[in-house]
A = this chain, B = another copy of it.
Amino acid sequence: MTETTVTSPGTPGGPPGTAGGTGRGPSGLRLARFRDLALVPAILLLVVVGALIEPAFLSGDNLTNVLQQQTELSLLVLAEAVILIAGKFDLSLESTVGLAPALGVALVIPAASNGLGTDWPAALGIPICLLIGVLVGAFNGLLILRFKLSAFIVTLGMLIVLRGLQIGFTGGQNLFALPDSFLYLGNARWVGLPASVWICGLAYAIGIVALGYFRHGRSVYAIGGNVDAARAAGVRTDRVLWTVFMIGGLLAALAGLLMTGRLGSVAASQGNGMIFTVFAAAVIGGVSLDGGKGTLFGALCGVLVLGLINNILTLAGVSAQWIQAIYGGIILIALMLARVTSGKAQD
Contacts and interface: CB of A to CB of B under 8 A. Distances in A.
A331 B231 CA distance: 31
A25 interface: no
Contacts of A149: 335-336, 339, 346
A336 B52 CA distance: 55
Interface string A308-334: 000000000000011111111101100
Contact of A332 (B161, B288, B322): B161
A2 B283 contact: no
A228 interface: yes
A328 B1 contact: no
A325 B3 contact: no
Nearest to A91: B276
Contacts of A226: 13, 16
Q: Assign chain A's interface to a size class.
A: 35 or more
Contacts of A68: none
A324 B164 CA distance: 4
A129 to B, nearest CB: 19
A283 B150 contact: yes
Interface string A333-347: 001100100000111
A14 B228 contact: yes
A79 to B, nearest CB: 18
Interface string A157-195: 111111111011001100000000000000000000000
A49 B343 CA distance: 56
Interface stretch (A30-38, A140-148, A200-208): A140-148
Given A13-B232, A157-B332, A161-B324, 20 more contacts: A2-B146, A3-B238, A9-B228, A12-B228, A89-B289, A148-B345, A150-B347, A153-B283, A156-B276, A157-B328, A157-B335, A160-B325, A160-B331, A163-B325, A163-B328, A164-B324, A167-B321, A167-B322, A168-B322, A168-B324
24 contacts: A1-B238, A1-B239, A2-B146, A8-B231, A9-B228, A9-B232, A16-B227, A143-B336, A149-B346, A150-B347, A152-B279, A156-B276, A156-B280, A156-B283, A157-B331, A157-B335, A161-B325, A161-B328, A161-B329, A163-B324, A164-B322, A164-B325, A168-B321, A172-B321
